Structure 1
Amino acid sequence: MAQGLSAECLQQIISYNEDDNKTLHSCLLVNRFWCHNTISILWGRPWRYSITQTSATNLIQTYVACLPEESKKVLYNNGIRYHLTSISPIFDYASFLRALDYDCMFWSISQWLISCWLYRVLNYEEEIKPDSEHQEDRVEDCVGEENERKTILVARELCNLFKNRCRIFHDLFLHSRAIQSDFPFLPSTSDSSNYLANLRELICLGDNKSELLLAISKVCSELRRIFVGFPLTIQWKTHYDTDAMSYATLIESQTRLESICLYGYKRLVAFLVDSLISQSKTLQTLELMYTDFREEQDCCSIMLLPACKNLKSLKIHNCFIPPDDRIMPLTSFLQLEEFDFCNEWNPLYPLPQHEFWEEIFYNTKSSLKKISLWWIRADPKDGSQIIESIAKQCSNISFLHLPVLWINEILLLFSHCKQLKEFSFSGDDFDANESLTQLGILVPAALHSLTIRDGHIGGWTFTERSLEHFLSVCRASLKKVDLNRCSCMTDRHFDVISRRRIAKC
């Protein structure tokens, strides 16, 4: 039956497993037809999978083998004489690339160079001088400045290879290494075509990235998602103003942007908000993460956001937003399907006022399907009105992820939210043996995934018998029960879950 499928149909089917490295490797081994239609998917995003030193070395070795002879000569003349071969690979692996993580590629190249040096030493192709002083210098050459120079050279040649061989390119991830160096992957005037014209996603995190963002804005106008900002590891961010202005230029140069993230911006937030309004007709996802709205002008810019009438997903993580009436415009997205709020480490501002939660849940009660909330909750009174608002307004919610809950709140949610499919929460120190039976009776029949975690001060405790009784009276056909972060769990608890053929994660 599979042999009767066209190549396009088979590729479409296999693409559903593009995140599963093991499954893709299994598909390669079915037959030659499957191999030819799997290889492009497997090599489309090679840095998406978990990269070890061994896999990184093999990956770069394969790409180096794809280099033209001119590039191999360049490497040879610069002292990179390891594992170079004139035999071409079976497939043109470089042409399959659809996503480039430059920092991961850079690290992979450095691991490949170290591996090649060790190979030569172990095979007596290179001698380490016996005196400790010279030996230390030789190792430092391998992992220090000399390795850095060679890594940059290999990265440049590989980027040129990708530029010449990639017909379609979708995703670009740039972090400190790409920003600090002369990034060699951008199109130049000598390039015959703009291989970044079809770029769909850009992630760029680092300091002093203004020129890079401006260069990308000149060659990319079809981006769907932009995630740009300052990593929290950067203590001193010296280029807020120029970076913010360049980011705004990049946003305004797009024709149908669907997702924008402002990450770590402390100034000129109003300038960025004003630019994203230019994408109000197409914008569907807005992420505000570690962004500071305390300046009056920045805070007032929140009033502009309701212009994004088609917004379906709103994420607010650890932002400095005044919890008074100035946050109320964020309740005006009537088509919102997903709301994600986190106030994990921001003690300067309490949670938004009760009116905010009432209004946002009321305005979106017919559209909202997923809620993810997190804040430090050590008292039942802290945020209890939020839980009540969810139970009262969000009866159609399907996915609900909440912080520490008390048993009466869970019973309240189960009584009102009958469409729940996925539910997770944390529990503080509590003997749940008697309550589990009551929960099992009230569990919504639609629920298929349940996650319980320890809270801030301990967690739920229950015996394996209580767990088995809960599962026996549970009305829902649970497919996944994740209790791995419950400290009371033992092998006997997991055996109870396994016997019912429930995935225990």
Structure 2
Amino acid sequence: MNQIFASEYFDTIFRYLPTYKDLHSCLLVNKRWASCAIPILWEAPFRVNDKYISSPKVIQTYLAFIPDSTFHKLGYNKRIGLSNSRPPFFNYPSFLKELTYDQFLNAVIAIDFSEDIIIELFKLLAKNDVRLRRLEIYNCLNNYPENLNRKGHLVLPHFYECTSVFSMLTYFNCSYRWPVQRIQLFNVIAKYCHNIKILKVSIYDKNEGIALEGLIRSQRNLKKFSLVNSNNFASFPIQALLNQKHSLGSLALEDMHHSPRLNSAKFFNYGICQLNSSAIDVLAQCKNVNKVKFKHCEGLNSSVFFPLANAFSNLTSLEYSYGTYDIYDSATPIRLLSDIIMTSCNTLKRIALDWYSEAKLDITQLVEIITQQVTKLEYLKIPLYTLEQLALIHRTHNQLRKLEINMNREINFYSALYLFANVPLKNLWFYFLQN
């Protein structure tokens, strides 16, 4: 079998294995299988089965590639980390493709290394010609005591100096507020990377906004853009999306609100979603957007956002969510949501509406638009307040594959079940939640 298949076939097969445990089993077969499995395991060492972890053992392994002379130069009597008396079988740092900076820093701080060692680790990545395809730097330093925050501040600029590391990025998440500015990072990526497909960012001052504007304009084919927890300066980068209007397919606005209980970030900007009319006009020109998401955003009822109602005629997915069972949405943008759905009624396949309101909202017209105008709907999630609204939903079950309903307590639960008693379960998965 080893003689029949080339290494690239093993790589393809191994990437379809469901868990990392299966990949670890491949290491035990023979050296060739191991040489195909190791790069996959080490391209995202701070992520296991889609869960992010901070692993000091990864850092210890990386340190084995730093020569003794470097430790002596930094004032250490002996090397730290794994011994390099026997060189590792594989060049583990060279396989790195995905880096979650928070978890990387967590792992380093857990071992209590100095700033100099962290800087040497950055240099190690550049020396091994690492080309990241995914970089996430969010909630940076939020959970550390002040003395550890200081360590993080000191090393960040040295990470930016490793310019080659950023040249192949396709995914960049730099969201939520930092205790330091990110202008240098944005400028470096704008200069050396032009292939970002997915961008998730936050903005807090004018200079950051201008730097991010340059980053967006420098990209060739941006497909997904998310604006997270930003203030009014976010209009600068939004206007730069005009350069990406032919490629942009997904738009998200997230975490712009006044509720302290809706976030866990230490550095959080409390304020409503603030975009000027010029920024909204640019978004309205992005006609190829097919997915829109609003999550925990206040201020969408403003007339500034009305041009978005008729802007997207080819949406396949619309999401709106705000609050939890004890945090209420005081200004649900029913009109905006209704108009967006009506504009894309011939293409929408997924509608996820998930808000919690203290008052009983009149959404019958919204439900009528969904049930009578949307022709290709496959998934629907929605809060309902009356049995009449539930009956309207019932009429559309033939086209739905999945239905989730959050029912107001005024709806009799047994009446709701009776409505759907004859719906074949093999054709529709439905879920009722009553609050």
TM-score, structure 1 normalization: 0.70
Residues 240 and 265, structure 1, Cα contact 8 Å, conserved in 2: no
Q: Tell me: CA distance 1:17–1:400, structure 2 relative to 1, closer, same or farther (3 Å).
A: farther
Amino acid in structure 1 at the alignment position of 2:398: K
- How far apart are the structure 1 equivalents of 2:359 and 2:382? 14
1:372 equivalent in alignment to 2:344: no
Residues 390-417 of structure 1, C-alpha deviations (whole Å, 9 max, x = no match): 2222231122233456655444324214
1:242 equivalent in alignment to 2:203: no
The structure carrying a bigger helix percent of its residues is 1
Residues 61 and 82, structure 2, Cα contact 8 Å, conserved in 1: no
Amino acid in structure 1 at the alignment position of 2:160: L
| Residue correspondence of structure 1 range 65-76 to structure 2 within 5 A | 65-74=64-73
Q: Tell me: CA distance 1:226–1:357, structure 2 relative to 1, closer, same or farther (3 Å).
A: closer
Match of 2:136 among 173, 196, 212: 173
| Residue correspondence of structure 1 range 369-408 to structure 2 within 5 A | 369-378=349-358, 381-403=361-383
Residues 265-311 of structure 1, C-alpha deviations (whole Å, 9 max, x = no match): 2122332221111211111111112346776x714532331211111
Partner of 1:37: 36
Cα offset, 1:333, TM superposition: 0.9
Residues 351-403 of structure 1, C-alpha deviations (whole Å, 9 max, x = no match): 2253x334322221222122221211355544333233222222311222334
1:439 equivalent in alignment to 2:417: no
- Structure of larger gyration radius: 1
Task: Give the paired residue count.
Answer: 401
Amino acid in structure 2 at the alignment position of 1:342: S
1:257 equivalent in alignment to 2:226: no
| Residue correspondence of structure 1 range 36-185 to structure 2 within 5 A | 36-49=35-48, 50=51, 56-74=55-73, 77=76, 81=80, 83-111=82-110, 113=111, 147=112, 150-175=113-138, 176-177=140-141, 180-183=153-156, 184-185=158-159
Cα offset, 1:95, TM superposition: 1.1
- How far apart are the structure 2 equivalents of 1:452 and 1:158? 51
Structure number with the bigger relative contact order (C-alpha 8 A, sep ≥ 6) is: 2
Residues 323 and 355, structure 2, Cα contact 8 Å, conserved in 1: yes
Q: Tell me: CA distance 1:405–1:64, structure 2 relative to 1, closer, same or farther (3 Å).
A: farther
Q: Tell me: CA distance 1:102–1:256, structure 2 relative to 1, closer, same or farther (3 Å).
A: same
Q: Secondary structure at the match of 2:106?
A: helix
Partner of 1:9: 9
- How far apart are the structure 1 equivalents of 2:433 and 2:114? 44
Match of 1:204 among 132, 155, 174: 174
Residues 106 and 151, structure 1, Cα contact 8 Å, conserved in 2: no
- How far apart are the structure 2 equivalents of 1:420 and 1:30? 46
Partner of 1:350: 331
Partner of 2:404: 424
Residues 485-505 of structure 1, C-alpha deviations (whole Å, 9 max, x = no match): xxxxxxxxxxxxxxxxxxxxx
- How far apart are the structure 1 equivalents of 2:52 and 2:334? 45
Partner of 1:329: 307
TM-score, structure 2 normalization: 0.80
Match of 1:339 among 307, 310, 318: 318
Residues 418 and 444, structure 1, Cα contact 8 Å, conserved in 2: no
Amino acid in structure 2 at the alignment position of 1:36: S
Partner of 1:289: 254
- How far apart are the structure 2 equivalents of 1:246 and 1:302? 20
Amino acid in structure 2 at the alignment position of 1:212: L
Partner of 1:478: none
Residues 35-86 of structure 1, C-alpha deviations (whole Å, 9 max, x = no match): 3222211111111234667xx1322222222334444545672776454332
Residues 382 and 404, structure 2, Cα contact 8 Å, conserved in 1: yes
Residues 127-152 of structure 1, C-alpha deviations (whole Å, 9 max, x = no match): xxxxxxxxxxxxxxxxxxxx3xx342
Residues 450-504 of structure 1, C-alpha deviations (whole Å, 9 max, x = no match): 444453xxxxxxxxxxxxxxxxxxxxxxxxxxxxxxxxxxxxxxxxxxxxxxxxx
Percent identical: 23
Q: Which runs of 5+ in 2 are unaligned?
A: 142-150, 257-270
- How far apart are the structure 2 equivalents of 1:82 and 1:10? 32
- How far apart are the structure 2 equivalents of 1:41 and 1:47? 12
Residues 179 and 209, structure 1, Cα contact 8 Å, conserved in 2: no
Q: Secondary structure at the match of 1:160?
A: helix
Cα offset, 1:97, TM superposition: 0.5
Partner of 1:123: none
